[in-house]
Amino acid sequence: MASDLTSDWKDGSKFYLLLHLYSPDSLPTENLSKMSDIERLTQAFNTAEKQYGKLQCGSRSVEDFVGDS
Spatial CB neighbours of 51, under 8 Å, sequence gap ≥ 6: 19, 22, 23, 26
In a domain, residue 45? The reply is yes
In a domain, residue 64? The reply is no
pLDDT in tens, 38-58: 999 889 888 888 888 877 666
Question: What's the pLDDT at 54?
Answer: 76
Where in the sequence is the domain holding 29, given as residue range(s)?
9-52
Q: Give residue 44's region: left, alpha or beta (phi > 0; psi -120 to 50).
A: alpha
| pLDDT at residue 11 tops 90 | no
| Model confidence band, residue 65 (pLDDT cutoffs 50, 70, 90) | confident
In a domain, residue 2? The reply is no
In a domain, residue 4? The reply is no
| pLDDT at residue 34 tops 90 | yes
Domain count, the chain: 1
